Amino acid sequence: MPSIVHFEVPADDVQRAKTFYSNLFGWKIEGFPGMDYMMIDTYGAPGGGMMKRMHPDQQITAYIGVPSVDEYSAKVEKLGGKIIVPKMAVPAMGYFVICMDTENNAFGIWETDPKAK
């Protein structure tokens, strides 16, 4: 059954957001090697990431783990949703697609694949 596997917190000031969430929830937030991205360790719950906000309307995004982003992208469109960021690879980790539901809420779908390029 697909469930939330990751979330992303966009921030205008990443250090300020890191301090806020670390102090609020006790999360461990550290840089990810080779990327301008912070990994959030939520101690057993689905983990997350933090990065510089890419556009003014960007909000927290939940990623749902699915067996195939291609299959689920087609389902999103068939059910009246939209694909707003097409399939992209995270090398050696997997693939993601950002979607918009019928109520204009953004969410991501994630397919784990260590062979992703």
The pLDDT of residue 100 is above 90 = yes
One-letter identity of residue 98 = I
Helix H or strand E segment including 77: helix 69-78
List domains and CATH numbers for the chain. 1-52 (3.10.180.10), 66-117 (3.10.180.10)
pLDDT by residue (tens digit) across 5-58? Answer: 999 999 999 999 999 999 999 999 999 888 899 999 998 888 999 999 999 999
Helix H or strand E segment including 75: helix 69-78
pTM of the predicted protein model: 0.91
DSSP string, 4-72: EEEEEEEESSHHHHHHHHHHHH--EEEEPTTSS-EEEE-TTS-EEEEEE-SSTT---EEEEE-S-HHHH
